């Protein structure tokens, strides 16, 4: 059975359909691994094992009758704690929502269940999903399976840790500023940030908000890029209000061979220097791409100057997350904003400016973003994908300093501001672009690091296919030694 711990969801679904393994048998295998390994990880924080076993037994019975519910029939998995799962807490890591037990599932959860998945648990998040680590007062701290002294990323960090440790076959998380991508990078797995609006976010909201949040998306996490493609086919499509009018029909990937890809590579910015250990992995990947025949351009630049892009991203990001604030928190941000110096570039200042943005100013910013989206359209006429870092370093040590402006990350031996890490994520997030995070290998220090593969708006299959081909060329997921 141990060979199933790190198998792809696609392979496991095939073995179930071929009756080579039972649904309940596979669920019990993953639950046993979770019971063994989760105490040290604290990745899974809410459980519904009995309900999952009922579902697995029903899946086995359906197979015996010749029925297959969908492409994930009987496949065990977990989802991020922030998704509504009927009967399980959805706290977003906040004591204020400790007693929030939804009666209904998120749209994403319902679509996974309709495809046959068996969801047995939910995974940890940071407070209100707003950190690159995953710790909170409700559930405690999640550790990285490669090194328990380090974090797994956030805000989908529990999901990243669970997948890397082999506690389930597939995962689901969310992303507004790297929350799918940085856990994939820090834990050595794959994740996909979809084009904004492709997958409904209803049921992924603290306080039961119905309106979609600008920039925010939900998407799949996996140990194999092929599973991302499978999950996107299951999850993409309109919600109830738009369902009568349109549906998603993905175009095939632009290319099917690395040799045919036109690849832009951008690894340098004065706003977020990357560590030499990550740069070395990028250099190895670029060499492999060139050897495979890809057309690689290392001089290409995004269509907006870095500092202006980051200013616009932070403004619209913090405007988007303001809807989650309580009246008291919003009043506090108004007070802070009224006292800010124009040259204050702190994280605190960015939150206050965005949260209190007047609608006319938001409209002006959105116009600038829309022009940028057309700039990206032109960019992706010349290139098929853009490769960038996900973050500056491999996984960093736990840092729970409540003053985030005082937090730093060591890059090339120098302390750099913690919030600089948002820069690379913002390249895709601001303009609603699809981005697939894929592993590049292990640093000299033995920690995983990955890349971000950005593509044209709506062309999600292209970035996922590139991730699959890249993994075939340089290697993909590697199990953490302590869990293999």
> For 303-342, how does the pLDDT look when each residue is reduced to its tens digit (9 = 90+)?
999 999 999 999 999 999 998 888 999 999 999 999 999 9
Are 464 and 445 contacting, i.e. CB atoms less than 8 angstroms apart?
no
User: Which region among 37-51, 131-145, 322-336, 463-477 has the lowest average model confidence (pLDDT)?
Assistant: 322-336
Candidates 3.90.1300.10, 3.40.50.1820, 3.40.190.10, 3.40.50.800; correct CATH number of 2-257?
Answer: 3.90.1300.10
Length of the chain measured in residues: 484
Q: How confident is the model at residue 347 (pLDDT cuts 50, 70, 90)?
A: confident
Q: How many CB atoms lie within 10 A of CB 343?
A: 6
> For 397-447, how does the pLDDT look when each residue is reduced to its tens digit (9 = 90+)?
999 999 999 999 999 999 999 999 999 999 999 999 999 999 999 999 999
Report d(CA 378, CA 369) in Å as an integer.
14
Q: How confident is the model at residue 11 (pLDDT cuts 50, 70, 90)?
A: very high
Report d(CA 123, CA 403) in Å as an integer.
25
* Residues facing residue 412 across a β-bridge: none
Percent of the chain beyond pLDDT 90?
97
Give how far the C-alpha of residue 192 lies from the chain's centroid of Cα atoms, to the nearest Å: 6
What is the strand order of the sheet 44-47 is part of?
44-47, 118-123, 76-80
B/e letters for 19-46, b = 16+ CB within 10 Å, e = fewer, are: eebbbbebbbbbbebbeebbeebbbbbb
Report d(CA 316, CA 333) in Å as an integer.
15
Residue 426 phi/psi, 5-degree rounding, is -65, -25
Over residues 124-130, the mean pLDDT reads 97
Indicate the pairing of strand 217-222 with strand 171-175: antiparallel
The helix (H) or strand (E) run that includes residue 130 is none
What Cα–Cα distance (Å) separates residue 442 from each residue in 143, 146, 152, 227, 425? Answer: 18, 11, 15, 22, 21
Sign of the Cα torsion 425, 96, 352, 398 reads negative
pTM score over 0.95: yes
Terminal Cα distance for the chain, rounded: 12
Are 191 and 180 contacting, i.e. CB atoms less than 8 angstroms apart?
yes
Average pLDDT value over all residues in the chain: 98
Are 138 and 94 contacting, i.e. CB atoms less than 8 angstroms apart?
yes
* Residues facing residue 44 across a β-bridge: 123
* Active-site annotation, residues: 80, 155, 179
Residues whose CB is less than 8 angstroms from the CB of residue 251 and which lie 6 or more positions away in sequence, other chains included: 459, 461
Half-sphere exposure of 326 (CA within 13 A, CB side): 7
What Cα–Cα distance (Å) separates residue 265 from each residue in 38, 183, 186, 249? Answer: 37, 21, 20, 29
pLDDT over 90 at 345, yes or no: no
Report d(CA 374, CA 84) in Å as an integer.
35
Q: How many CB atoms lie within 10 A of CB 250?
A: 16
Parse the chain into domains and list their residue ranges: 2-257, 306-364
Report d(CA 357, CA 316) in Å as an integer.
9
Smallest CA-to-CA distance from 177 within 294, 273, 313, 31 is with 313
Q: How many CB atoms lie within 10 A of CB 216?
A: 20
Task: Specify the pLDDT at position 326.
Answer: 87
Report d(CA 392, CA 453) in Å as an integer.
16
User: What single DSSP character describes residue 404?
Assistant: G
Two structure tokens written together for 393: 């370093």
Residue 429 phi/psi, 5-degree rounding, is -65, -50
Indicate the pairing of strand 190-193 with strand 140-141: unpaired
> For 219-258, how does the pLDDT look when each residue is reduced to its tens digit (9 = 90+)?
999 999 999 999 999 999 999 999 999 999 999 999 999 9
Give the chain's count of helices (H) and strands (E). 14, 15
Alpha helices (H) along 325-459: 327-338, 347-355, 359-382, 422-429
Are 446 and 395 contacting, i.e. CB atoms less than 8 angstroms apart?
no
Radius of gyration of the chain (CA): 21
């Amino acid at each position: 059975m141990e060979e199933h711990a790190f198998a792809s969801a696609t392979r496991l679904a095939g073995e179930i359909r071929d009756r080579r393994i039972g649904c309940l048998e596979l669920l019990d295998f993953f639950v046993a691994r979770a019971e063994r390994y989760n105490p040290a990880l604290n990745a899974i924080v809410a459980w519904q094992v009995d309900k999952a076993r009922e579902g697995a037994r029903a899946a086995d019975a359906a197979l015996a009758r010749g029925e297959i519910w969908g492409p994930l029939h009987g496949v065990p998995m977990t989802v991020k704690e922030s998704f509504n799962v009927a009967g399980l807490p959805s706290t977003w890591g906040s004591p204020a929502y400790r007693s929030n037990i939804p009666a209904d599932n998120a749209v994403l959860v319902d679509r996974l269940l309709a495809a046959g998945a068996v969801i047995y648990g939910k995974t940890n998040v940071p407070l209100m999903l707003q950190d690159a680590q995953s710790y909170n007062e409700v559930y405690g701290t999640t550790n990285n399976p490669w090194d328990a002294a380090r974090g797994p990323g956030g805000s989908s960090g529990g999901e990243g840790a669970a997948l890397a440790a082999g506690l389930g076959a597939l995962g689901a998380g969310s992303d507004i500023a790297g929350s799918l991508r940085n856990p994939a990078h820090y834990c050595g797995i794959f994740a996909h940030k979809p084009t904004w609006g492709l997958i409904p976010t209803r049921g992924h909201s603290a306080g039961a908000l119905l309106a979609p949040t600008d920039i925010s998306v939900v998407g799949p996490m996996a140990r194999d890029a092929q599973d991302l493609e499978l999950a996107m086919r299951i999850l993409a499509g309109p919600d109830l209000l738009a369902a009568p009018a349109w549906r998603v029909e993905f175009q095939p990937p632009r290319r099917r061979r690395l040799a045919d890809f036109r690849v832009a590579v951008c690894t340098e910015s004065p706003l977020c220097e990357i560590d030499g250990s990550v740069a070395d992995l990028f250099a190895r990947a670029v060499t492999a791409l060139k050897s495979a025949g890809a057309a690689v351009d290392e001089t290409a630049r995004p269509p907006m100057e870095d500092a202006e892009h980051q200013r616009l991203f932070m403004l619209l990001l913090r405007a988007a997350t303001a809807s989650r604030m309580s009246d008291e928190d919003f009043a506090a941000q108004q007070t802070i904003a009224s006292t800010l110096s124009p040259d204050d570039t702190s994280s605190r200042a960015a939150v206050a400016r965005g949260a209190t943005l007047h609608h006319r100013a938001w409209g002006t910013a959105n116009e600038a973003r829309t022009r940028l989206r057309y700039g990206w359209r032109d960019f992706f006429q010349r290139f098929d994908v853009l490769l960038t870092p996900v973050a500056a370093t491999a996984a960093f040590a736990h840092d729970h300093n409540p003053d985030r402006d005082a937090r730093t990350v060591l890059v090339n031996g120098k302390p750099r501001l913690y919030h600089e890490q948002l820069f690379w994520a913002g390249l895709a997030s601001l303009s609603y672009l699809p981005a697939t995070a894929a592993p590049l290998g292990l640093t000299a220090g033995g920690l995983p690091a990955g890349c971000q593969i950005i593509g044209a708006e709506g062309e999600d299959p292209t970035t996922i296919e590139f991730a699959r081909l890249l993994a075939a060329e340089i290697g993909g997921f590697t199990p953490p030694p302590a869990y293999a």
